[in-house]
Structure 1
Amino acid sequence: MISISLCMIVKNEEDVIGRCLDTVRDIVDEIVIVDTGSTDRTKEVVSEYTDRIFDFEWINDFSAARNFAFAQATQEYLLWMDADDILKPEDQEKLRILKRSLDKKIDAASMLYILATDDAGNVTGSSRRYRLVKREKGFRWIGFVHEYLEVHGNLIDTDMAITHASLRHDSNRNITIFEEMIAKGRSFSPRDMYYYANELFDHGKRRKAIEQYTEFLDSKQGWVEDNIRACHRLSDCYAHFEEKAKSLEWLFQALRYDAPRSETCCRVGNFFFEQNNYLAAIYWYDQAIQCKDHGMLAIRTDVYSAWIPLLQLCVSYDKIGEHEKGCYYNEQAAKLRPKDPIVIGNREYFSKVLKREIVPATY
């Protein structure tokens, strides 16, 4: 059995830190908390779980804080979580099993990170992160914002997940850090360029975002998944400015970097759907369903691989008068979310159009 230190950096997390620690306290052997300047009851709450609490002066560098937290740990393996993350009961059990069974030759283990779910509990956004790492390997965090853990050696992927369950988010925090780094004359890595462009986009600064995404792609040093998502965002920017040809062009540029992603195909399908070119839209929605899962560590928007293209195929076929096919694809979507009001409404519509009762089990 391995021993595990949970390492966390926190600031003003009194509302969520106890919820997080409750899901993992009985599994890990040590809890290391690094506080970067809380002014609420965070440290008081944390003291009920551990006495391994350290202060770290905030210097606008997440990697520095995380590396400091790792340096305080004493157990064989280091597990990291954020204060607004939780382990669901089934994942708590998976972590217990992993702790009992992990081969000590393993240097790092990845876990699924659930970023978003719909009202029915279906995962709509996820990624993979290396969460459990061997302490003696001395792995380091890199990047002052949107930091990542650089790992190598014997790596495995596990089937357990950590779930992000945020109650709030400081939307200005990251862009403020980026702007302070610019003011100090700090040079950006290609990864920094990409995430700064994302912050500009999220804050509605689309012209500046276009410049930053373009500079990032021109560097030709970006990770393939970041390249693809940069193209998607550039498409969104030009769509906002009603430059439709450029919007479509950037979606096709995304195809340069790797095999097509389902999201890219859906976006192209949406472009043609909005132009009332339903046959072209049908082609691209079908391609979205056919896409294989690529980019294990990338953020996955799972709705693009099935739910959205199935519904859009339903509507597209209906638009060209092929109501039976439209009904078929609605029922395929219903297999994913049988109680969704959209598929129920569509079923009622097709019952009237086809003049017969639609029985889901027949599809």
Structure 2
Amino acid sequence: MSNLTVVILTKNEEKNIVDVIHNAKQVTETVLIVDSGSTDNTVALAEANGAKVVYRAWDNDFGAQRNFALQHVTTKWVLYLDADERLNSKIVEAIKMTATADEQKQYSIKRKSVAFGQEFNYGVLKPDFVPRLFKTKNVHWVNKVHEKPVCEDKLEVLDGYIEHYTYTGWQQWLHKFDQYTTIWAVDSYAKGKRVNLTKAFGHAVFGFIQMAILKKGILDGGMGLAMSCNHFFYTLMKYLKLIELQRKGEN
């Protein structure tokens, strides 16, 4: 019996689900899908390809979805993988060795992003390191959007990387833009965060400078500049939505 479960969150991922399950099965036979109400063939395809599927209604809380998964994991180790991510051969071997060694640690994995048919090396979508492999009983997640794990085990980086096939088109980007900015604004308002227009524009301008210049987004060419501009609007919009909630709360 495997001592590792791969957890994948889904909603309408029929284009990705078969490939990601087959990819996950390179490290374990135990694949858990947490579906939030797919209306396409995601669930049927997942079950047909040997994954266990559980359901949790979507409530705009990514951290809660990941924590819900832990209730259904019975193995010592848990690895989180998104439906649009793939493990490369080197990280597959590193994960299998790590799960066998069974040390009291958590592990981060390098992630490379491909969007709109281009691999990014700088700026918004530059390669990053994401903690993904944990002892099941030692981790929980916080934040509704841009969720992060809380784990006290020593953090190490595994060899290899995840290929992240993110935005395939602008309609998909706009959908996530609207979804993420709304979740952030509602959550921030509930936590007591307040802002004005001057600060909103200040955050947005700094966000552009950070991505285009400090993180060298312009070195990714026209698309790198475009993504830096998009980050300006993303940052501005999440604060504008917060301001909108503030105004409604005052009436």
Provide the C-alpha distance between the structure 2 equivalents of 1:179 and 1:42, rounded to a whole number of angstroms: 30
The change in CA–CA distance for 1:213 and 1:158 in structure 2 (over 3 A counts) is farther
Q: Which moved more, 1:126-135 or 1:24-33?
A: 24-33
Deviations 1:105-124 (A, max 9, x none): 33201110112489796744
Provide the C-alpha distance between the structure 1 equivalents of 2:99 and 2:22, rounded to a whole number of angstroms: 18
Provide the C-alpha distance between the structure 1 equivalents of 2:116 and 2:35, rounded to a whole number of angstroms: 32
Deviations 1:140-176 (A, max 9, x none): 1100111111122222111221111133532321123
Q: Is the 8 A contact 1:8 1:82 kept in 2?
A: yes
The change in CA–CA distance for 1:121 and 1:98 in structure 2 (over 3 A counts) is farther
Instruction: Give the paired residue count.
Output: 212
Provide the C-alpha distance between the structure 2 equivalents of 1:92 and 1:107, rounded to a whole number of angstroms: 17
Residue 177 of structure 1 is matched in structure 2 by 183
Shift in Å at residue 302 of structure 1? 11
Q: Which moved more, 1:42-51 or 1:7-16?
A: 42-51
Deviations 1:233-283 (A, max 9, x none): 42466xxxxxxxxxxxxx6xx8xxxxxx994286xxxxxxxxxxxxxxxxx
Residue 106 of structure 1 is matched in structure 2 by 104
TM-score, normalization: structure 1?
0.50
The within-5 A match list for 1:257-276 is: 263-264=213-214
Residue 27 of structure 1 is matched in structure 2 by 27
Deviations 1:268-305 (A, max 9, x none): xxxxxxxxxxxxxxxxxxxxxxxxxxxxxxxxx6958x
* Higher-strand-fraction structure: 2
Q: Is the 8 A contact 1:3 1:75 kept in 2?
A: yes
Letter in structure 1 aligned against 2:112: I
Provide the C-alpha distance between the structure 1 equivalents of 2:44 and 2:36, rounded to a whole number of angstroms: 14
Residue 10 of structure 1 is matched in structure 2 by 10
Provide the C-alpha distance between the structure 1 equivalents of 2:94 and 2:147, rounded to a whole number of angstroms: 26
The change in CA–CA distance for 1:121 and 1:28 in structure 2 (over 3 A counts) is same
Three-state SS of the structure 2 residue aligned to 1:19 is helix
The answer as to 2:154 corresponding to 1:154 is yes
- 5+ unaligned residues in a row in structure 2: which ranges? 225-251
Q: 2:205 aligns with which of 221, 234, 239?
A: 234
TM-score, normalization: structure 2?
0.70
Three-state SS of the structure 2 residue aligned to 1:146 is coil
Provide the C-alpha distance between the structure 2 equivalents of 1:52 and 1:136, rounded to a whole number of angstroms: 20
Letter in structure 2 aligned against 1:160: G
Percent of matched pairs sharing the same residue:
21
Residue 44 of structure 1 is matched in structure 2 by 44
Three-state SS of the structure 1 residue aligned to 2:133 is strand
The change in CA–CA distance for 1:117 and 1:38 in structure 2 (over 3 A counts) is closer
- 5+ unaligned residues in a row in structure 1: which ranges? 198-206, 215-229, 238-250, 255-260, 267-300, 309-363
Provide the C-alpha distance between the structure 1 equivalents of 2:111 and 2:28, rounded to a whole number of angstroms: 19
The within-5 A match list for 1:139-150 is: 139-150=139-150
Q: RCO greater where, 1 or 2, for CA within 8 Å and sep 6 or more?
A: 2
